[in-house]
Amino acid sequence: MTNKGLLQTEGLPGIFGEMESEVRSYCRSFPAVFRKAIDWTIWDSEGKAYLDFFAGAGALNYGHNNAMLKEKLIRYIAEDGISHSLDMATEAKERFLRRFRRIILQPRGLDYKVMFPGPTGANAVEAALKLARKVTGRTDVIGFTNAFHGMTLGALSVTGNKFKRQGAGVPLPYAASMPFDGYLGKDADTIAYLESYLSDSGSGVSLPAAVIVETLQGEGGLNAAGAQWLVRLETLCRKHGILLIVDDVQMGCGRTGSFFSFEPFGLQPDIVCLSKSIGGYGLPMALTLMKPELDVWEPGEHNGTFRGNNLAFVCAAEALRYWENGEFEAGLADKSALLEARLKEIAARHPGLQGKRKGRGLMQGLYFPENGVAEDVCRAAFRRGLIMETSGTDGEVAKVMPPLTIDEASLLRGLRLLEQSVEETAN
Ligand code: PMP
Which pLDDT score is estimated for 206?
A: 84
Regarding beta strands 363-367 and 41-44, do their DSSP bridges make them parallel or antiparallel, or are they unpaired? Answer: unpaired
Runs of H (alpha helix) within 172-247: 190-199, 227-240
Tell the burial category of 342 from Cβ atoms under 10 Å away from its Cβ (0-12, 13-18, 19+).
buried
Binned at pLDDT 50, 70 and 90, residue 126 comes out as very high
Atom 10 (ligand 1) nearest CA: 149
CA atoms of 311 and 321, how far apart (whole Å) = 17
Q: SS3 of 302, please?
A: coil
The pLDDT of residue 335 is above 50: yes
Looking from the CA of residue 251, the nearest atom of ligand 1 is: 3
Q: Where are the domains of the chain?
A: 1-31, 34-65+326-426, 70-323
CA atoms of 342 and 401, how far apart (whole Å) = 14
CA of 18 to the centre of ligand 1 (A): 24
CA atoms of 232 and 216, how far apart (whole Å) = 16
Which pLDDT score is estimated for 230?
A: 98
Q: Which of 250, 251, 390, 401 to mutate to test the pocket of ligand 1 (most atoms within 8 A of CB)?
A: 250
Q: Work out the end-to-end distance of the chain between its first and last CA atoms, rounded to an integer number of angstroms.
A: 39
Give the 3-state secondary structure of 376-395: HHHHHHHHCCEECEEECCCC
CATH class of 70-323: alpha beta
Looking at the whole model, is its pTM more than 0.90?
yes
The pLDDT of residue 49 is above 80: yes
CA atoms of 83 and 174, how far apart (whole Å) = 38
ipTM score above 0.90? yes
Name residues whose C-beta falls within 8 Å of residue 375's C-beta, 6 or more positions apart in sequence: 15, 390, 395
CA-nearest of 143, 133, 153 to 209 is 133
CA atoms of 266 and 82, how far apart (whole Å) = 38
Crossing angle of the two packed helices 310-319 and 67-78, in degrees rounded to 10: 140
Regarding beta strands 216-217 and 223-224, do their DSSP bridges make them parallel or antiparallel, or are they unpaired? Answer: antiparallel
Say if CB 34 and CB 385 are below 8 A apart. no
Quick: pLDDT tens for 36-46. Answer: 999 999 999 99
String of DSSP letters for 189-209: -HHHHHHHHHH-GGGTPPPPS
Superfamily assignment of 34-65+326-426 in CATH? Aspartate Aminotransferase, domain 1 (3.90.1150.10)
Say if CB 367 and CB 396 are below 8 A apart. yes
Query: What strand order describes the sheet that includes 41-44?
Result: 34-38, 41-44, 49-52, 386-387
Which pLDDT score is estimated for 298?
A: 93
Quick: pLDDT tens for 262-314. Answer: 999 999 999 999 999 999 999 999 999 999 999 999 988 999 999 989 999 99
Which pLDDT score is estimated for 19?
A: 53
Quick: pLDDT tens for 128-166. Answer: 999 999 999 999 999 999 999 999 999 999 999 989 999
CA atoms of 289 and 278, how far apart (whole Å) = 13
CA of 24 to the centre of ligand 1 (A): 21
Percentage helix, strand, coil, to 5, in the chain? 40, 15, 45
Which pLDDT score is estimated for 87?
A: 87
Q: Which of 27, 249, 271, 278 to mutate to test the pocket of ligand 1 (most atoms within 8 A of CB)?
A: 249
Which residues lie across from 293 on neighbouring strands? none
Looking from the CA of residue 120, the nearest atom of ligand 1 is: 15
Looking from the CA of residue 125, the nearest atom of ligand 1 is: 10
Quick: pLDDT tens for 50-84. Answer: 999 999 999 999 999 999 999 999 999 999 999 99
Which pLDDT score is estimated for 176?
A: 72
Looking from the CA of residue 150, the nearest atom of ligand 1 is: 11
Binned at pLDDT 50, 70 and 90, residue 177 comes out as confident
Binned at pLDDT 50, 70 and 90, residue 22 comes out as low
CA of 148 to the centre of ligand 1 (A): 7
CA atoms of 30 and 419, how far apart (whole Å) = 20
The pLDDT of residue 256 is above 80: yes
CA-nearest of 40, 8, 106 to 415 is 40
CA atoms of 308 and 270, how far apart (whole Å) = 24
**Which residues have C-beta atoms less than 6 Å from ligand 1?**
57, 120-122, 125, 148-150, 214, 218-219, 247, 249-250, 275
Name residues whose C-beta falls within 8 Å of residue 365's C-beta, 6 or more positions apart in sequence: 222, 343, 357, 358, 359, 374, 391, 397, 398, 399, 400
Looking from the CA of residue 123, the nearest atom of ligand 1 is: 16
